[in-house]
Amino acid sequence: MAKDLFSNLDLNLLRTFIILHQERNMRKASERLFVSQPAVSKALQRLRDHFGDELFVKTHHGLRATEHANMLAESIAPIMDELSLALNSSNEFDPKQLEGPITLALS
């Protein structure tokens, strides 16, 4: 039976993975995530261990994604975007949707 890679994966690692894939730079990724570079490096190591792939290789121009990392990013990025949209759109206040009287109380 194949290993279930989803059941024991921290979804925060996927967010880090997507940003690393977009930036191809540890410093820029850490700035976007509002964490330190060592935290991004540790997250990348956890991702490497989890997926059994190097995912990103250091080059003179930053990080180069492996073929497996490109395949994962292509599959995961749209899902993460949809998840973000679903979670963030439910918190929007639209006064046009209010019906009936509004009571204000002041002390």
How distant, in Å, are the alpha carbons of 7, 13, 46, 54, 56 from that of 50?
11, 10, 6, 10, 14
Selection from 91, 94, 93, 52 nearest residue 69 by Cα: 52
Question: Mind listing the pLDDT tens digit for each residue in 57-92?
Answer: 999 999 999 999 999 999 999 999 999 888 887 667
In this prediction the pTM is: 0.79
pLDDT for the residue 86:
86
- Tell me which DSSP letter residue 35 carries: S
**Is the CB of residue 33 less than 8 Å from the CB of residue 22?**
no
pLDDT of 1 reads: 55
- The confidence band for 50, taking pLDDT boundaries of 50, 70 and 90, is very high
